[in-house]
Every structure is written in structure tokens, then in C-alpha cells.
Structure 1
Amino acid sequence: MASSMGNANKSCIDNLIAARKSLKLNLEKSRAIGLALEKIGPRIDEINQRLPSLEAAVRPIRADRDALLAVGGHINRAVAPAAAVLKVFDAVHGLEKSLLSDPRNDLPGYLSVQKRLEEALRFLGDNCGLAIQWLEDIVEYLEDNRVADERYLSNLKKSLKGLRDLQIDREKVHLDGGLLDAALEKLETEFRRLLTDHSVPLPMSSSSALGEQACIAPSPLPVTVVQKVQAILGRLIANNKLDKCISIYVEVRSANVRASLQSLNLDYLEISISEFNDIQSIEGYIAQWGKHLEFAVKHLFEAEYTLCNDVFERIGLDVWKGCFAKIAAQAGILAFLQFGKTVTESKKDPIKLLKLLDIFASLNKLRLDFNRLFGGVACVEIQNLTRDLIKRVIDGASEIFWELLVQVELQRQSPPPPDGGVPRLVSFVTEYCNKLLGDNYKPILTQVLVIHRSWKHEKFQERLLVTEVINIIKAIEQNLETWMKSYEDTSLSNLFAMNNHWHLYKHLKGTKLGDLLGDSWLREHEQYKEYYATVFLRDSWGKLPAHLSREGLILFSGGRATARDLVKKRLRSFNEAFDEMYKKQSNWIVPERDLREKTCQHIMQAVLPVYRSYMQNYGPLVEQDPSSSKYAKYTVQTLEKMLSSLFQQNPGRYGSFKGRQTSGKFEVVDLRRTASAMV
């Protein structure tokens, strides 16, 4: 039993020892684990910090299987358009060097490159939005299916929003960095250069040769230049630059027309109504105006009309006609029309009627050209100004013509010329009426009067024109009768009648007006001239020989003293009568040279033979007298010289009826206007 107890104790001790060893071993392990845990703690903290990102990276693995399988296709479809856009974008930048070069070096090549740029930009413009939309769709898919990290998706959304904003805000500028605008600017410069370098003012030999100026070529620009200009236009218009093209074209071509007109010295077109007093001050300009206007229309504007059609015909009728209208307006057609209007606004004057007819003739000559060149909506301003000018011309000319008779009758109240000459009114009206009935003015005046009457729905017949002119001449005759009676000196009245009847006969014989008045009318005035010439000579110089009577002159010795006294007395009487008549008539005139010479000859024939005979027979009786110079005052030669110098027309003698003859065209300075007469 003791043995069994001993064995039992030993077994317990062994167990305790074993337990102690085991505890000791576990304690050491625990210490080792504790030390290990103490060392791994920082790494665990690091792992804890990386867990969110790891979780995000692992999240797609946890996404829906179908979503994971479909995401690849969506990504490929979104990236492909974006890649294509990027490829084209790179190609755009590859064109930069060519498009920044000078187009004149190779214009066809430059235009071809620019067209490629435009096509690329159109592709980018059409596809950038599509590519962005695809990218936005894939982002939305990733977000909906929780396939991607939220922060990544947020950054991607921000980038896509920036692209979308750039697309909306001037897309092309941002797509090409302003390359297209730079290229278009270079094309505009080349467009201007081509026009400027080949726009040469039309040379003119002289202003007087305008009518003979040869017509210029249908197009002022060479065909090759027109083709280049059209090619540039095509590209500029494709980029909404039509207005800019027209602006450049109008600027260059209108300047060229102005340069062509500059040598003509057209400053007179700017004359205002306040810068001249009457029509005579600008009469010469009106003649120039007609030539200059015809030259401008038929040569310059005709050429511009053709060129506009050549350059812009592919764009449309309205475009090229509108372009031409701007050129015409800027080049000076409006100034021509304004000058005509200024003439119509000047004071009424008979000469103004002729000038208005000249203006009408010029406009009528160009009527078809005006209708063709300036017809249509684009030239409405030119049309309105032209119609207004024509109406003013017709109204003004008609008004002056129908007032002529009244104005002639009003002149009847004015006094006749104190020198017995031909009143300015008479010489002017005869010449004036002949002009109106001449081949140059009668057709024009008839047309003007026909148009004016048609506006009033009245008919006009040519006989009305002829009748009115004849009535004006009859009014002149009545004026002459009235003026003849107003002279206090009968001899002066006779001289006046002689002068004026001869003037009417001489200046109307063989003329249109003379033919209308008839041969009997002309012969009547010729006979009146003869009659009044005879009466004038009889009642004035014809009375002088009576002072040299031979009655009572006995030359025998006893009567010599008595005869000497009678000769002295009669010579004194003759001298006094001669001096008085010569002094008075030395202020009278006979304007027509032939009539003046004939009248002086008749006077000398009436006086000189009698005086010569008297002095030959009785002159010796007084020549020995100490005071002989008082009686034998004149020699025959002296009297002949004095009488032959009578009735000379001195400059300025007509006063307000003064006129001048210049270059075959009659000009009137004043028509002795009354307050109610022409003003």
C-alpha cells in the first residue's frame, strides 16, 4: 500500500513539473507574441489607413458581374470618338505653317489647305460634342453601377464640364487656336492687294476730248485676276465674310473711279446755291457737266457695272448690283445729280432755260444707260435723285418759257436806250428765239413741253411752241412802237426806228424764225428801215445845206463887203447848227456796221458837196479876214472825217442791257429786270 502511495505522489510531482514547464513555455511564447504584436502595431495602423483605397480598388470585384462584363464595351465606344477627335486636332495643328505663309506665293495651294482646315474644324465641331457625350455616358454608367471610385468620377466630371464649356464658348477659336481667323485675315489682305494692284485710273488725254474717248475693255481687271478674286471670295464667303469682301471691293474700286475723275477738276460740282448770283457765273460749268457726266456713265460706271457682274455673278444679282450701287454713290454720281439740282434752284433767267434744256438733253441722252445701270432696288437713291432732277428741269424750263411773253411785255414800261441803239432786249430776244427754234433746242424744248403737259393730262402740239415764239416777236414790235413814241427828239426817234427795223430784218432773214414770220414781214421791216432813214436824214442833216444859201451874194466890187458879211453870217449859222447836231448825235449809235457806213455816207452826200462848193466860191471872202477861223472853221476833209466817225458803238453804252458775244454763244448779263420781271 505504501508502494502504491509512493507511486501516486511521484506521479503528481511529475505532473506538476510538466505543468510548470508547460506554463513556462507558454509564458515565453506569450512574451514572444507580445513582443511581436508590439512590433507589428505600426504596420497595422498603416494597413488601417490603406484599407479605404484598397476597398475602392476591390469594389469593382464586388460589383455586379453583368456590369463588370459590360463596362469594357462602353469604355471602348466612348474612347474611339475621342481618339478620332484628337487625331484630327493634331492634323489641324499640322496645317499651321502653311496657313501662316503668304497666299500670293501659291494661292490655289493656300486655298486648298484652308479648305482642309475648314473641313477639319467642321469635323471637330460636329464630333467634339458627340465625343464628350459618349464620355459623359460612360461616367454616368460607372456611377450608376458603382464600378468606379466616386472621387475619380468627380474629377472626370469636372474635366468633362470644362470641355463642354469650351465647346459652347467660341468653339472654333479654341479648337484651332485662332488659325482660321489668321488665314481669313491673310486672304482679305490678298483680296485687297489683287484689287489695288490692278485698279488703275483711266488715262485721259484732255477734258475737251472726252467725247472722243475710246470705250474701255468690258472688264478693267485681267481674267486671271478676276478668277483669283473669285476663288478668294469663295473661301471668305464660306466663312461669313461677304460683307467684309464687299466693303473692301467698294472701297478700292470707288477710289479708282474717283482717281479717274480727279484730272477733270470737278470741284465745281460742290458749288452751292449761295456761291453764284446768276446762271452766267456757272454757265461754262454746265457745258462741262454734260461731258463729264457722259464720260463717267459710259466709261467709268459702265466698266464698274460689268466688273461687279464678273466678280460677284456667282453670288447673286442682288449682291453685285448692291455692290455697284455703293461704288456709284461713293464715286460721285450723287454729286453730279446734286449739281444739276443746284442749277434748277438758281434764280430765273432766260439763259437758265437754255441751260436747263442742256441738262435735260444730257440726261435724256443717257436715259437708257441710267435705266440699265441704276435700275433696281439697290440704286433707289440714285433713281429718286434722277427723277427729282428731271422733274425740276422740266418744271423750271416750262415755267420760264411760258413766262417769256409776259416778261417781254413788262419791259415795255422801261425807257428806250438814250443813244437810239438797239435795246438789249430786242437783240437778245431775236437771238434767243432763233436758238429756241434751232435744231439744237427746238426738239428738246418740244419734248420738255410735251412731258410737262402730259403731267397735267393735257396735250401739246408743236404749233403752240411756234405760236408762242411769234407772239414774243410781236410783243417786241409793240415795245418798239411804244419806245419810239417816248423820245422827245424826233430825229433820235427816227434813228431808233431805223436801227431796230434793220436789226429785225438783218438778224431774222434766213433764220428759222425769219422763215416762220415770212418774207412779207421781213420786207416790211426793210421798208420801214428805209423810210425812217430817209426821214432821219431829211429832218436832221438834210437841213444843214439851207444855212449855206447863196441868195444876195453879189461879187462885183461895190457889193463885196456886203457879200463878205453874208458869208460870215451864214457860215456862222452853219457852224453853230453843225456843232449842235454833231455834239448831240455823237452820243447816238448805229450798231450795225453796214447801216452805219451807209447812213454816214448819205449824210456826207447831203452836206459835203454843198459845203465844198460854197467854200470854193465864197471861202476866199473870209479867208483874208483876221478872224477867219471863226467862220471858215472846218475844212471839207475835217467835216468828212467827223461825219464818217459818227454813230460808233462805244463799249458799255448799253448800261444794264450790256451783253457780249463769246465763242458763238450768246450770253446775257442782265435783262433790265423789273421787280415783277425775271429774277
Structure 2
Amino acid sequence: MAGSGDSRVENLICARKSLKLSLEKSKAVGLALEKAGPRFDEIKLRLPSLGSAVRPIRAEKDALVAVGGHINRAVGPAAAVLKVFDAVHGLEKSLLSDPRNDLPGYLSVLKRLEEALRFLGDNCGLAIQWLDDIVEYLEDNNIADQVFLSNLKKELEGLRGSGNGELDGGLLAAALDKLENEFRLLLTENSVPLQMSALGDQACIAPSPLPVPVIHKLQVILGRMKANDRLDKCISIYVEVRGSNVRASLQALNLDYLEISVSEFNDVQSIEGYIAQWGKHLEFAVKHLFEAEYKLCNDVFERLGLDVWMGCFSRIAAQGGMLAFLQFGKTVTESKKDPIKLLKLLDIFSSLTKLRLDFNRLFGGAACVEIQNLTRDLIKSVIDGAAEIFWELLVQVELQRQNPPPLDGNVPRLVSFIADYCNKLLGEDYKPILTQVLIIQRSWERQSFQERLLVNEVLNIIKAVELNLETWIKGYEDPMLSNFFAMNNHWHLYKHLKGTKLGDLLGDSWLREHEQYKDYYSTIFLRDSWGKLPGHLSREGLILFSGGRATARDLVKKRLKKFNEAFDEMHTKQSGWIIPERDLREKTCQLIVQTVVPVYRSFMQNYGPLVEQDAKYVKYSVQKLEEMLLLLYRPKPVRHGSLRSPQSNGKYGNGISNLRRTASAVE
């Protein structure tokens, strides 16, 4: 019995402990429930919205389990895309900063952005396709209602549209804009106009216009631009900045004359100085400016290919002024024809020939076709124009023969011009150029050319001038003026052709003949004009006369009166005549003085006292007479720059101006 009692006590003790433990747990649960009350209230409030969110999905458990696989397949690509999007966002601060601070670092970040965008471009579509599959599954299995599915489709359509547009929100475009701006700044800050005066007579090409580090920066920027299809914009910037720099280099040369039109000048002489400048300026532009730009284009764009950098250079050359240079030359060829124009055309041809190798190298590519075409047109116009003027020159000289000789007996402008002109054509400066021009021109017409043709044509021109002189000598009604004119012109030809290329061709006998003609006509002129004056002061009758002083005085008065009248008439008549050559003028005046003054002096010494009280007969002192004779035949002052000879009055003169004004003359 005792053992069973103990057993019951132990059971009670255990029950007590169990109840106590249960009570404590109940208290703990009560406290927990008390604390969880507010949370249950919060959940109760959220249940309607959660129910609303879950409500579109109404399917059996098996169907919901099956859709889980589709969701898992879409989550992977979508999560990767979202991760890259986050990375792109992380690059935003660096790419919106100034590239100048760290260009290599900036380009490195930009390259990461490009890689990220390529990833997004490749994978966004895949992620959207997986999401499309989920919607399709939900729709096929009636797992969600139609309103819910319609909203999902709209969202996916929006995502699909974003995938075709800017996945970076415009970050790449903004970064490229900054690089373009840096490209422009690098060019602008390092582009300095080249001064022609600083070059002097240098034949070498100036070093590269941009430092090597700057060129390297431009190259790496161009690399990124090409990778993003933005190369054209950088090329346009380069052409704009470097072309502007070329124009600034040329601006100091005052090239306004390049804009002259044909209608703005009457003949080549009005712009003769500009043509000389044109050759120097063109050489400076080609050998220094465009040569430097050619090299720089190659350095900067060499990695992008020949077509790119040659196309860039051609645009700089065209916009920088090359076309304006060529157009000016073309304008000269279109101006009125006259002999002076031939020399200027030869100057232009010489300048172009000197630069031929440079032209072929710099502008020989397909990109420079406009410059090539204009250059070819210019050369053809120069050659055709020069050859035409040269072959017509003989005819134009012959046409002057019908004009009357000058009233003042001067050397016609035609004669002096042709003598100097033909010497220039045969000189070292122009003969090789003219020969080359004529060879090319004849080859175009499938005709041969020998150098003797040029020489013979020049000799024929001189012969035509001689025939003109013979005609004009016979054209005077006054024999004295005819002899005076002949003396003038024969001496002019002798003096200006002796010792020249043309004189050597004509020969010593030809020259001596003109010298002898000068002496011959000079003798006749003096004999038939001033040589007659001493006869009026004859002493005949005065020596033998013994009739007294009164009779002698009357005879002296008569002879002085006739002398004065003859002298005044002769002096008045010849005071308008001209001897342009100083040596011939001084010699002729001395001969006249020697012919007249000694006789007058002797007469006045012997018989002057008889009439010295009567100033009417003693009109001139010996000194005054000599002074008047020594001042004869001087050229009249000519307005500076005038093309007309002093004696020309529109009808007489045979000036070179008339050479281009006859009906069929070179105009």
C-alpha cells in the first residue's frame, strides 16, 4: 500500500509542474497576442488591397505551380538587364563632367557605357520576349482576368518601345556632345594664322600646325566618334575651324582683288599690279598654307582612310580660298584682249607651271575634282588667250598703217611699244613660257611647232612696223616734219634694239641701216629748216656799200626783220614737235645752235650797233636765242599712268591704245 501511495504523490507533483509550465506558456501567449493585436489590425486593413492584387489570378494550384517555371526563366534576363541599367546610371556623373580634366579616363568610361548599351541592346529584347511568354501563358490558361492581362500587354509594349530608343536616357548623346565640344576647343585653341611676312624667302615647308599631343587627342576622339556614327559632325567642325584659320592667314594679304569681276575693269593694265601679287599670294597659299593643311589632315585622319582625310582637305582648300584664286585667273582670261594681256597671261601660266607638281600632289585626288576642273579650265583659257593674241599681233600692227602719223613728229606709241614688247617676248623671262604655250596650243590643233616659228613671227611684226613707218613718213604734207619724224623713229629703233635679243636677230647691218637713215634724215631736216635762217643775215652789200650809215642801217633792219620773222615762224612751228630720246634731242638742238647762233652773233657784233636803239629789230639777244633753241623738242608732261602718248589727240598718235580700239583690233 505504501508503495502505491508514493507513486500517486509523484504523479501529482509532475502534474503540478506541468500545469505550472502550461500556465506560464499561456501567460506568454497572452502577452504575445496582446502585442500582436495592432499588427493584426494593420494586416486587416491591408487585406482588401492584397485581395484585389491577388484577385486577377484565379487558377487551380497545379496551374499556379506550372506558371512558376515561366516566371523563373524571365527573372534571370530581367535581373541582369536591371543590373546593367544600374551600372549605366552609375556612369552618369563621370560622363557629364568636363573631358578636358582627364580625357583618357573620360574615354575609358565612355567605352564602358558603349559596352553596357550593347549589352542592353542585345538582352532587353530577350527579357521582354520572356515576359511576353508569361503573359501568353496566363492568357492561354485563363490564369488571370482580361483587364489584368491587357494592362500587362500595355506595359510590355512600352518597354519594347524604350528598347528601340535611348536605353541610357540620352547619356551617350550628351557625352558625345561634350567630346565634340572638346574636339572644337582643341582645334580652336591651337590654330594660329600663318603670317606670310614671317616666312620671307623660305622654300621649306613649315612644321605641323598642331602639336603632336593635340593631334593624338584629336585622333582618339575621332575613334570614339566613328564608333558611334558621329564622324561627319567632327569633320565639319575640323573643316570649319581649319578653313577659318586659312582664311585668317590670307586676310592680312588684302585679297579683295580676288573678287573683282570682268565688268569692274576695262583692261588688264588696270589690274596689272594685282596679277603680279596673285602669283606671289598663290605660291604662299599652296606651298605653305595648303601644304600644311594637307599634311595635318593626313596626320589627324590617317586612321580613318584616304577618302576621309582627302575629302576633308579638299573642303578646306575650297573654302579657304583656292577656288577664289583660280576664279581670279579665269576672270583675267575673260577680260578684253590687248597685247599687255598676253604678258599677263604668260605670267599666270608661269605661276601655274611653277606650282604644277604641288597642284598634282595636293589636289590630284578624286575629292578635289572641283579644283582640278577649274584649274584645267584656267590653263586652257590662258593658253588659248595667249596664243590668240600672239598670232593676231601682226595683223593688228598692219591695221595701224591706215592711221595718219602724229602731228608732232614724235615716235608713235606703237613703235616704242612693239620694240620693247617684242624684246620681252624674246627675253629669258617670257620666251620659254611663250614657246611652251604655243607648243601646247598647236598640239591641241594637231599641228607641229618649231621655235623658229616664234622668231619669224616676231621678225614679221618688226617688218610690219617698218612698213608702217615708211607709210607714215610719206603721209606728211610738210617735208620738214616728214624728215623730223623719220629721224626720230629710225634713231629710236636703232637705240632701243641695239644690244638686245631682237637686235641680235635683226643683225648689225639692219641696225647700221637705221643709224644711217637717222643721220640722213637729220641732215636733210637741218638743211631744209634751220639751215635756211643764216641766209637772212647775209653781209652781201654791207661790206661793199659806201652809201652811208643810214642806208646801211636800213639794210640791216630789213635783214634782221626777215630773220626774226623766219625764226619766229620756225620756232613757233617746231615748238610743238617732240624728240623723246634725250641724246638725239640734245644733239639736234646743238646742231641747230651751231647752225644759227654763230652767224647771228657775228652779224649782231658787226651791225648790231646800227640798230641797237630800235628794239623792234633787235628782238633777241644771242643768249636768249641760244636758250630758246636748246629748249626745243622736249616732251610735254604726261599724266601719270596715262596709256596715250603726249601727242595723241584721238586722230593722230598711233598709240598702243589705238591698237586695241580699231574695228578688228585686239580688244
TM surpasses 0.5 = yes
- Asked if the contact 1:657/1:672 (under 8 Å) is kept, the reply is no
Offset of 1:76 from its aligned partner? 2.2
Tell me the equivalent position of 1:77. 73
User: Which residue of 1 is the match for residue 628 of structure 2?
Assistant: 642
Could you say which residue in structure 2 is the equivalent of 1:327?
Answer: 316
- Look up the match of 1:8: none
Displacement, 1:414? 1.0
Conserved 8 A contact 1:56-1:149: yes
Aligned pair in 2 of structure 1 residues 376, 412: CA closer, same or farther (>3 Å)? same
Q: 1:57 to 1:282 in 2, by over 3 A?
A: closer
Distance 2:59 2:625 in 1: 148
Q: Are positions 1:476 and 2:465 aligned together? A: yes
1:126 alignment partner in structure 2: 122
CA drift of 1:189 comes to 0.6
Q: Does 1:632 align with 2:618?
A: yes
CA distance in 1, matches of 2:545, 2:229: 126
Alignment deviations for residues 398-425 of structure 1 (CA, whole Å, 9 cap, x no partner)? 1111111011011111111111110000
Give the aligned partner of residue 165 of structure 1: 161
Q: Match of 1:78, as an amino acid?
A: A
Report the CA distance shift for 1:509/1:56 in structure 2 as closer, same or farther (over 3 A).
closer
Tell me what 1:197 maps to.
189
Q: Say whether 1:677 aligns with 2:665.
A: yes
**For 1:474-514, what per-residue CA distance to the aligned partner results, in whole angstroms no more than 9, with x for missing partners?**
00000000000111111111110001000000000000100
Q: Is the partner of 2:615 in helix, strand or coil?
A: helix
Question: 2-side partners of 1:318 and 1:673: how far apart?
Answer: 52
In the superposition, relative to structure 1, how do residues 657 and 590 fare at CA in structure 2: closer, same or farther (>3 Å)? same
Alignment of 1:347-496 (within 5 A): 347-496=336-485
Could you give the per-residue CA deviations for residues 450-473 of structure 1, whole angstroms, max 9, x where no partner exists?
A: 111111111111111100000000
Q: What is the deviation of 1:181?
A: 0.9
Distance change >3 Å, CA 565–CA 603, structure 1 → 2: same
Distance 1:615 1:182 in 2: 110
141, 145, 169: which one aligns with 1:177: 169
Verify the 8 A CA contact 1:218 1:306 in the aligned structure 2.
Answer: no
Q: Hey, what does 2:248 align to over in structure 1?
A: 259
What SS does structure 2 have at the residue aligned with 1:314?
helix
SS in 1 for 2:335: coil
C-alpha contact (below 8 Å) 1:659/1:668 kept by paired residues: no
1:536 corresponds to 2:532: no
Structural mapping, 1:308-323, within 5 Å: 308-323=297-312
Q: Deviations over 1:581-615 (max 9, x none)?
A: 11111111111111111111111111122222222
Letter in 2 for 1:453: R
Matches of 1:97 and 1:523, distance apart in 2: 97
Which residues in structure 2 correspond to 1:62-73 (within 5 Å)?
Answer: 62-63=62-63, 68=65, 71-73=67-69
* Contact 2:410/2:485, CA 8 A, preserved across alignment: yes
User: Distance in 2 between the 1:138 and 1:320 partners?
Assistant: 53
SS of aligned partner of 1:308: helix
User: 2:651: which partner in 1?
Assistant: none
Check the 8 A contact 2:94/2:106 in 1, yes or no: yes
Q: Secondary structure at the match of 1:325?
A: helix
CA 1:440–1:203 in 2, change beyond 3 Å: closer, same or farther?
A: same
Shift of 1:563: 2.5
Q: Tell me if structure 1 keeps the 8 A contact 2:338–2:660.
A: no
Distance 1:442 1:364 in 2: 14
Alignment partners' CA distance in 2, 1:517 and 1:51 = 124
Task: After superposition, give the CA deviation of every residue in 1:358-415 in whole Å (9 maximum; x if it has no partner).
Answer: 1111111111111111112211111111111111111111111111101101111111
Pair 1:311–1:51, CA change in 2 (3 A): closer
Correspondence for 1:545: 534
* TM-score, normalization by structure 1: 0.86
- Compare 554-563 and 238-247 and name the one that shifted more: 554-563
Q: Distance in 2 between matches of 1:157 and 1:54?
A: 18
Q: Which residue of 1 aligns with 2:586?
A: 597
- Are 1:568 and 1:631, in contact at CA under 8 Å, matched by a contact in 2? yes
With 137-146 and 525-534 compared, the bigger mean Cα shift is at: 137-146
Q: Is the 8 A contact 2:205 2:287 kept in 1?
A: no
Give ranges in structure 2 of 5+ residues lacking alignment.
Answer: 1-49, 648-654
For 1:115-154, list aligned pairs within 5 A: 115-145=111-141, 152-154=148-150
Q: Where in structure 1 do 4 or more consecutive aligned residues deviate above 6 Å?
A: 50-58, 653-656
Change (3 A) 1:653 1:217: closer
Aligned counterparts of 1:306 and 1:52: Cα–Cα separation in 2? 74
Contact residue 420 and residue 589 of structure 1 kept, 8 A: yes
SS of alignment partner, residue 428 of structure 2: coil
Instruction: Report the 3-state secondary structure (helix = DSSP H, G, I; strand = E; otherwise coil) of the residue aligned with 1:422.
Output: coil
Q: Distance in 1 between matches of 2:489 and 2:163?
A: 96
Query: Aligned residue for 1:658?
Result: 645
Distance in structure 2 (CA, Å) of the matches to 1:52 and 1:329:
72
Contact 1:280/1:669 (CA < 8 Å) preserved in 2? no
Q: How much identity, in percent, do the aligned residues show?
A: 79
The CA deviation at 1:72 is 4.2
Which residue identity lines up with residue 629 of structure 1 in the other structure?
A: A
Q: Which amino acid aligns with 2:663?
A: A
| Residue 293 (str. 1) matches residue 282 (str. 2) | yes
Give the deviation of 1:573 after TM superposition.
Answer: 1.3
Greater relative CO (CA pairs within 8 A, separation 6+): 2
Cα distance in 2, alignment partners of residues 496 and 543 from structure 1: 19
Please report how far the alpha carbon of residue 58 of structure 1 lies from its aligned counterpart in structure 2 after TM superposition: 7.5
User: Hey, what's the Cα distance between the residues in 2 that align with 1:544 and 1:588?
Assistant: 19
1:614 counterpart letter in structure 2: F
1:558 Cα deviation from its structure 2 partner? 3.8
Pair 380,58 (structure 1): closer, same or farther in 2 beyond 3 Å: closer
Partner of residue 156, structure 1: 152
2:368 and 2:162 map into 1 onto residues whose CA distance is: 45
**Residue in 1 that maps onto 2:229:** 240
Deviation at 1:281, TM superposition (A): 1.1
Secondary structure of 1:332 counterpart: helix
The alpha carbon displacement at 1:146 in A equals 5.3
Q: In 2, Cα distance between the equivalents of 1:52 and 1:387?
A: 84
CA-based RMSD of the aligned residues comes to: 2.4
For the structure 1 residues 191 and 429, does the alpha-carbon distance in structure 2 shift closer, same or farther, using more than 3 Å as the test? same
Shift in CA distance, 672/336, structure 1 to aligned 2, threshold 3 Å: closer
The answer as to whether partners of 1:351 and 1:668 remain within 8 angstroms in 2 is: no
